[in-house]
Structure 1
Amino acid sequence: MHAISYTRFGAAADVLEPVTLPTPDPEPGEVLVELAVSGVNPSDVKARAGTRPGVVKPAFDRIVPHSDGAGTIVAVGEGVDTTRIGTRVWIWNGQWQRAFGTAATHICVPVMQAVPLPDAVSFETGATLGIPGLTACHAVFGGGEVMGKTLLIQGGAGTVGLLAAQLAKWGGAKVITTSGATGSEAATNAGADVVLDYGAEEMADQILAANNGQPIDRIIEVEFGLNIDTDAAVIAPNGTIAAYGSAKAMTAELNFGPLLFKAATIDIILIYLLPKPERDAAIARLHAALADGALHCPVAQVFALKDCAAAHKAVEAGTRNGAILLDTTA
Structure 2
Amino acid sequence: MVDAVGDGVDAGRIGQRVWIYGATLDRPRGTAAEFTVVPAERAVPLPDQAGFELGASLGVPALTAYRALTVAEDGPRRLRPGALDGAVVLVAGGAGAVGHAAIQLARWAGATVISTVSGPEKARLASAAGAHHVVHYREGDPAAAIREIAPGGVDLIVEVALGANLDLDLAVLRTQGTIATYANNGDVPVRLDVRQNNMLNTRFQFLVLYTISNDVVTAGAEDVTAALADGALPVGEAHGLPLHRYPLADAAEAHRALENGATGKVLLTLAAE
TM-score (norm 2): 0.88
Q: Does 2:194 correspond to 1:256?
A: yes
Query: Map of 1:182-201 to 2, 5 A cutoff?
Result: 182-201=121-140
Query: Map of 1:255-294 to 2, 5 A cutoff?
Result: 255-294=193-232
Deviation, structure 1 residue 300: 2.2
Distance across 1 between alignment mates of 2:142 and 2:134: 12
Letter in 1 for 2:246: F
CA contact (8 A) 2:157 2:180 kept: yes
CA contact (8 A) 1:92 1:114 kept: yes
CA contact (8 A) 2:71 2:205 kept: no
SS for the counterpart of 2:15 is coil
Worse-matched range after superposition: 275-284 or 299-308: 275-284
CA contact (8 A) 1:148 1:172 kept: yes
Deviation, structure 1 residue 183: 0.6
The match for 1:301 among 232, 238, 244 is 244
CA contact (8 A) 2:160 2:182 kept: yes
Residues 184-224 of structure 1, C-alpha deviation per residue, up to 9 Å, x if partnerless? 1111111111111122353322221232x221100000101
Q: Does 2:268 correspond to 1:326?
A: yes
SS for the counterpart of 1:284 is helix
Q: Does 2:103 correspond to 1:165?
A: yes
SS for the counterpart of 2:250 is helix
The match for 1:135 among 64, 70, 78 is 64
Distance across 2 between alignment mates of 1:288 and 1:112: 16
Query: Map of 1:201-240 to 2, 5 A cutoff?
Result: 201-211=140-150, 213-240=151-178
Alignment: residue pair count: 257
Residues 117-139 of structure 1, C-alpha deviation per residue, up to 9 Å, x if partnerless? 12221111111221111111221
Deviation, structure 1 residue 250: 5.7
The match for 1:105 among 34, 37, 42 is 34
Letter in 2 for 1:208: R
Higher strand share: 1
Residues 238, 228 of structure 1: alpha-carbon distance in 2 compared, 3 angstrom cutoff: same
Distance across 2 between alignment mates of 1:249 and 1:205: 26
Deviation, structure 1 residue 142: 3.3
CA contact (8 A) 2:180 2:204 kept: yes
Match of 1:312 in 2: 255
Computed over aligned residues only, the root mean square deviation of the Cα atoms, in angstroms, reads 1.7
Q: Mark the runs of 5 or more structure 2 residues left unpaired by the alignment.
A: 77-82, 236-240
Q: Does 2:48 correspond to 1:119?
A: yes
CA contact (8 A) 2:179 2:203 kept: yes
Q: Does 2:89 correspond to 1:89?
A: no
Deviation, structure 1 residue 319: 4.4
Match of 1:41 in 2: none
Distance across 1 between alignment mates of 2:254 and 2:14: 30
Runs of 4 or more above 6 Å deviation: none
CA contact (8 A) 2:41 2:218 kept: no
CA contact (8 A) 1:229 1:254 kept: no
Structure having the higher Rg: 1
Residues 8-28 of structure 1, C-alpha deviation per residue, up to 9 Å, x if partnerless? xxxxxxxxxxxxxxxxxxxxx
Letter in 1 for 2:251: C
Distance across 1 between alignment mates of 2:229 and 2:194: 42
Distance across 1 between alignment mates of 2:123 and 2:189: 28
Match of 1:49 in 2: none
SS for the counterpart of 2:145 is helix
Residues 31-89 of structure 1, C-alpha deviation per residue, up to 9 Å, x if partnerless? xxxxxxxxxxxxxxxxxxxxxxxxxxxxxxxxxxxxxxxxx111111111211111111
Distance across 1 between alignment mates of 2:31 and 2:55: 13
SS for the counterpart of 1:108 is coil
SS for the counterpart of 1:103 is coil
Residues 274, 120 of structure 1: alpha-carbon distance in 2 compared, 3 angstrom cutoff: farther
Distance across 2 between alignment mates of 1:309 and 1:236: 44
TM-score (norm 1): 0.74
Distance across 1 between alignment mates of 2:270 and 2:31: 9
